[in-house]
Amino acid sequence: MEIINQENLDKLKALNNEKVLKIVNEFIDLCKPSKVTVITDSKEDIEYCRRRAIEIGEEAKLDIDGHTIHFDGFFSMSNHDQARDKKNTKVLIPNGQYHPPAINTIEREEGLKEILEIMNGCMEGHECVVRFFCLGPKNSEFSILALQLTDSFYVAHSEDLLYRAGYKEFKKLSGSDEFFYFIHSSGELIGDPPVTKNLDKRRIYVDLQEGCVLSVNNQYAGNSLGLKKLALRLAIYKSNNEDWLTEHYFILGVHPEGKNRVSYFCGAFPSACGKTSTAMLPGQTIVGDDIAYLRAWNDGYVHAVNIERGIFGIIKDVNPKDDPVIFEALTTPRETIFSNVLVAEGTPYWIGDGRSIPVKGINFSGDWNIGKEDINKKEIPHAHPNARYTIRIEELSNADENLHNSEGVPISGIFYGGRDSNTMPPVLESLNWEHGVFIGASIESETTSATLGAEGVRVQQPMANLDFIVVSLGKYLKNHLDFGKKLNICPKVFATNYFLRNKEGKYLNGILDKLCWIIWAEGRTQDDYKAIETPIGYLPLYSDLKILFKQYLNKDYKETDYIEQFSIRTTKLLEKLDRIESMYKKEINVPQIFWDTLNDQRKSLINLINTYDMEEISPFLLK
Ligand code: OXD
Ligand code: MN
């Protein structure tokens, strides 16, 4: 039987690209699929992927038109494929080159040998699709093309929702080999719906030298979709060897009421720390929620594009009160893939959706009923905490008009934040660009369900990007610092913290309070607000926040709340500096300005303690 028929072969040949042909040949030989189908940008081809995902059982229809459900496996809470696998995601380092300590690496030859062996025959009995995408807007200086081979129609379908089609763009390449490529296989499947069997052989290996990622024995999009977190790593490598940035940033259009203007902001938060919900704040517009390419532009600003056109968002605590925009998007007809939620009688349910929980249904553990326990006698929640939804941005009423602008959008500010219970205030502005880079470099966050392993462990998360950085941290920070120096209009940098708690462990802010921090930051970029200069950055005035809380949330913001939230927690901040210092001490070539900033911060915090003779210093004392 021929694996690839003439029609499909013709589609490949029409690209006139030797490298594409070579890759397809090489991996068909290795992975041994039973059939190869080439998908162009045509409606029929794209529809084929969507239909096959259902026919094969990787997705099933739900009641609302366009909604489907996909499960990444039916396993226990401790052994599953419903989150990114950091342990088995490794960067291949060519012989003799430096292995940065913060990155999970393996010698290139050894890694290739291991994964190619696992991939030998991994697509047996499967149909493999060959897909072409464009990372970034079409016809744009920012964008990079990507080739994907996968035997998962869920992966192929998700990529249609998340990325811009690129077959025609590949034609325009005129045979050039300038593109990333990704080979993915779910590997041997079991059950109905079919899920990956051999999780112990799950591997995701990033080959920087070749510009490709090999991923096998997994389905979860953070592990399987080449264009998402795998391409992010390749682009970080490329941009750090050129003169631009690839970041784990959302891009948000901020529209302050009554001001008749929009200012664009980027923001980096580790996964499951409020990134998508910031990008989807009521009254604002979204360009992207996850990954951005940034370049210094000829108008003096930095411009950013969303390399995606969809959202693969966490679906937890999404309810009409806390996340009204996302809730509305997920409960109305449109092409949407839900994953790892509970399905009961054709309706998806998730944690914190504000509805009563059905007594039974199907979830990530298979047939589920209230009270069901896992092998460790632990009650299984009705939905996975890292359950997801996949949708297109352009269908949303809050999609920004510049989503596909080939020149991107000019960036006025950047937010950095983490899941930080006791150091940083809810919002502050950095003292300057270098201090802003320091703030980004010193994000700490408690681990969440978006990665495998224990939750709630405090880890350093430089620029919320550590999981994806593939060059040394010293080089990465230098690239950031140099980048800012080139700009005539440098973005202001802000730190946010949505997870501050009091000594009893109670969160100090409501979920929607972030709207006020974002609007305040926008006002700072336009000189609308004065601020209190402190050693750790500029803090908002109580009087401005009081007005913002009333205007945007109809809430009375009390002075006592302000003092509790914005007091400088000197001892906790000093402890944090020690942790940051010990992390970066392990690195090579960390820019001197980073150490100078760290030492200045330490000195001024000690000064504050000595001057005021107290641990927590109210902003009113510093005014
Ligand atoms: C994501 C992640 O899915 O960062 O965006 O894990
Ligand atoms: Mn992300």
pLDDT tens for 136-190 read 999 999 999 999 999 999 999 999 999 999 999 999 999 999 999 999 999 999 9
Q: What is the pLDDT of residue 263?
A: 98
Cβ 67 under 6 angstroms from ligand 1: no
Cβ 271 under 6 angstroms from ligand 1: yes
The long-range contacts involving 556-561, CB below 8 angstroms and separated by at least 24 positions, are 557/516, 561/508
Identify which of 72, 81, 82, 84 to mutate to test ligand 1's pocket (most ligand atoms within 8 A of the CB). Answer: 84
Q: Whose CA is nearest to atom 3 of ligand 1?
A: 222
Backbone phi and psi for residue 442, each to the nearest 5 degrees, phi listed first: -110, 25
- Which atom of ligand 1 is found nearest the CA of 84? 6
Backbone phi and psi for residue 302, each to the nearest 5 degrees, phi listed first: -90, 135
- Which atom of ligand 1 is found nearest the CA of 289? 5
Backbone phi and psi for residue 490, each to the nearest 5 degrees, phi listed first: -80, 135
How many angstroms separate the alpha carbon of residue 186 from the centre of ligand 2? Answer: 21
pLDDT tens for 573-598 read 999 999 999 999 999 999 999 999 99
pLDDT tens for 284-312 read 999 999 999 999 999 999 999 999 999 99
Question: Averaged over 474-499, what is the pLDDT?
Answer: 96
Element (H, E) at 114: helix 108-119
- Which atom of ligand 1 is found nearest the CA of 83? 6
Give the separation between CA 35 and CA 123, rounded to whole angstroms: 9
- Which residues are the active-site residues? 273
Cβ 250 under 6 angstroms from ligand 1: no
Alpha helices in 196-345 (DSSP H): 221-224, 231-240, 275-279, 324-330
How many angstroms separate the alpha carbon of residue 358 from the centre of ligand 1? Answer: 28
**What 8-state DSSP symbol labels residue 294?**
E
Handedness of CA 325, 328, 334, 336 (dihedral sign): positive
Residue 489 has pLDDT above 80, yes or no: yes
pLDDT tens for 3-50 read 999 999 999 999 999 999 999 999 999 999 999 999 999 999 999 999
How many angstroms separate the alpha carbon of residue 306 from the centre of ligand 1? Answer: 15
- Which atom of ligand 1 is found nearest the CA of 314? 3
Q: Whose CA is nearest to atom 2 of ligand 1?
A: 271
Give the separation between CA 58 and CA 245, rounded to whole angstroms: 36
Identify which of 227, 273, 290 to mutate to test ligand 1's pocket (most ligand atoms within 8 A of the CB). Answer: 290
Domains of the chain: 6-57+80-242 (3.40.449.10), 246-309+401-622 (3.90.228.20), 313-395 (2.170.8.10)
Question: Averaged over 84-94, what is the pLDDT?
Answer: 96
Determine contact, residues 355/73, Cβ cutoff 8 Å.
Answer: no
Cβ 203 under 6 angstroms from ligand 1: no
Residue 77 has pLDDT above 60, yes or no: no
Determine contact, residues 107/95, Cβ cutoff 8 Å.
Answer: yes
Closest C-alpha among 284, 224, 237 to residue 58: 224
Cβ 37 under 6 angstroms from ligand 1: no
Secondary structure of 475-537 in HEC code, one letter for each residue: HHHHHHHHHHHCCCCCCEEEEECCCCECCCCCECCCHHHHHHHHHHHHHHHCCCCCEEEECCE
pLDDT tens for 351-392 read 999 999 999 999 999 999 999 998 888 899 999 999 999 999
Residue 427 has pLDDT above 90, yes or no: yes
Q: What angle do CA 55, 61, 62 make, to 5 degrees?
A: 170
How many angstroms separate the alpha carbon of residue 312 from the centre of ligand 2? Answer: 8
The percentage of the chain sitting over the pLDDT mark of 70, rounded to a whole number, equals 99
Give the separation between CA 190 and CA 186, rounded to whole angstroms: 11
Question: Averaged over 599-618, what is the pLDDT?
Answer: 96
Give the separation between CA 205 and CA 90, rounded to whole angstroms: 5
